[in-house]
A and B are shown apart, each in its own frame.
Chain A
Amino acid sequence: MINSKKVLIIIPAYNEEENIENVVNNVLEENNLVDVVVVNDGSKDDTLKRAQNTKATVIDLPNNLGIGGAVQTGMIYAYKNGYDIAIQIDGDGQHNPKYIKEMVNKINEGYDMVIGSRFVEKTNYKQTFFRMLGINITSALIKAITGRKIYDTTSGFRAVNREIIEEFSKNYPYDYPEPETNMKIVLKKKKVLEMPVEMRKRMAGKSFITPIKSVKYMIKVTMSLMMAKLKLKEY
């Protein structure tokens, strides 16, 4: 509980055996008033056991659902267990848990969603060319469709309030979910804040981005952003 709000930290983890214990422990050292749930997304390595060594609740998906399905599982858990705020943190240690408290404060101030952003202010975070290209294109697309500029469209460091927990537990894209959900929330006229955060280099293991995946990513995300505008009328 932070300011009498039940806060859940959701950590999706796929093959993060080298990082997961540190990530969980860092979160709890920084803030022992939150609950942590690790969603093991069908990892092939020792992630499950390592996560169970920590104080976190571990939800073990029998299949690999991808990042969207894993995060949504955390959202369903948060919704069912009455959490007021859910904060998603990557399982690779890129996100510094020292920002959790500030994110919670911002939600308490009335924001519906807070995005931990690398680019609102200049930080020394270095990106690969393709990642940057992807972020710039999705950012421009979201600006064109909604009129609102979101700088760090792919950030997986996000806090949401109860209303959006409910929404996400019902609807959440399966792959590359961040840009699409950011745009949807903006389109629904929710209050979104981009909060500057410093991100660290991932602690161990490899990032998933290759040029071919980047092209697939761009096609899928462009498509989903354009469709999201049309789909919105159904809700």
Chain B
Amino acid sequence: MIYYLGIIFGIVFLIFILNLVKKNKLDEKYSIVWIIFSLGILLISIFYELFMKISLKLGVYYPPILLLLFAIIIEGIYIVHITITITKQNKMIIKLTQELAILKEKVEEMEEKNDKR
């Protein structure tokens, strides 16, 4: 039963992500991870017997744990990636704010000079 749910969830999630990209609400760049994620869920749900065999071979006797482990590692890497992006954007915003404020002052000064003429 849970495997069918997994398949359904994977498909719905994939459609959701593709739709976001289509509506320009998510960059292609950022969608790739989520597409891989939903394909992963699909594959594991479809080939769950193979997945169980692999986990047993790896010494994981309760296969869902292997799934959780993968998920946590991937999410962790992705969150670091996102915080790097935020830092970069933060720097850009600060730079823009500063340049804009300096330009604003310059324009106002020039306008004042023009008014005096």
A residues with CB within 8 A of B: 39, 57-63, 65, 69, 72-73, 76-77, 80, 174
Minimum C-beta distance from B96 to chain A (A): 9
Contact B102 A65 (CB under 8 A): no
Contact A62 B105 (CB under 8 A): no
Minimum C-beta distance from B86 to chain A (A): 13
Minimum C-beta distance from B105 to chain A (A): 5
Query: Quick check: is B93 within 8 A (CB to CB) of the other chain?
Result: yes
In the complex, what residues of B have CB within 8 A of residue A63's CB? 93, 97
Minimum C-beta distance from A227 to chain B (A): 13
Q: Kindly identify, within residues 47 to 104 of chain B, every residue whose CB is under 8 Å from any CB belonging to chain A.
A: 90, 93-94, 97-102, 104
Provide the bound-state CA to CA distance between A191 and B35, in Å.
56
Task: Describe A's contact surface by its main secondary structure.
Answer: mixed
Contact A59 B97 (CB under 8 A): no
Contact A57 B102 (CB under 8 A): no
Question: Contact string, B2-26, partner A, CB cutoff 8 A, digits 1/0?
Answer: 0000000000000000000000000
Contact B94 A77 (CB under 8 A): no
In the complex, what residues of B have CB within 8 A of residue A72's CB? 98
Q: List 7 A-B contacts (CB under 8 A).
A: A39-B101, A58-B105, A60-B104, A60-B105, A61-B101, A69-B94, A76-B98
Complex partner residue of B105 from A57, A69, A174, CB under 8 angstroms = A57
In the complex, what residues of A have CB within 8 A of residue B98's CB? 61, 65, 69, 72-73, 76
Contact B94 A59 (CB under 8 A): no
Contact B102 A62 (CB under 8 A): no
Contact B102 A77 (CB under 8 A): yes
Considering the complex of A and B, which 3 residue pairs feature the smallest CB-CB distances, nearest first?
A: A73-B98, A61-B101, A59-B101
Minimum C-beta distance from B93 to chain A (A): 7
- Known pairs A57-B109, A77-B105, A174-B90. 12 more at Cβ < 8 A? A59-B104, A59-B105, A61-B98, A62-B101, A65-B94, A65-B97, A69-B98, A72-B98, A73-B101, A76-B99, A76-B102, A174-B94
In the complex, what residues of B have CB within 8 A of residue A39's CB? 101
Provide the bound-state CA to CA distance between A60 and B104, in Å.
8
Minimum C-beta distance from A46 to chain B (A): 18
Provide the bound-state CA to CA distance between A61 and B99, in Å.
9
In the complex, what residues of B have CB within 8 A of residue A80's CB? 102
In the complex, what residues of B have CB within 8 A of residue A174's CB? 90, 94
Minimum C-beta distance from A32 to chain B (A): 20
Contact B100 A73 (CB under 8 A): no
Provide the bound-state CA to CA distance between A72 and B91, in Å.
12
- Residue of B with least CB distance to A77: B102
In the complex, what residues of B have CB within 8 A of residue A58's CB? 105
- Residue of A with least CB distance to B100: A62
In the complex, what residues of A have CB within 8 A of residue B109's CB? 57
Contact A69 B97 (CB under 8 A): yes
Minimum C-beta distance from A9 to chain B (A): 16
Minimum C-beta distance from B98 to chain A (A): 5
Provide the bound-state CA to CA distance between A69 and B90, in Å.
11
In the complex, what residues of B have CB within 8 A of residue A60's CB? 101, 104-105
Provide the bound-state CA to CA distance between A60 and B107, in Å.
12
Question: Contact string, B28-55, partner A, CB cutoff 8 A, digits 1/0?
Answer: 0000000000000000000000000000
- Residue of B with least CB distance to A40: B101
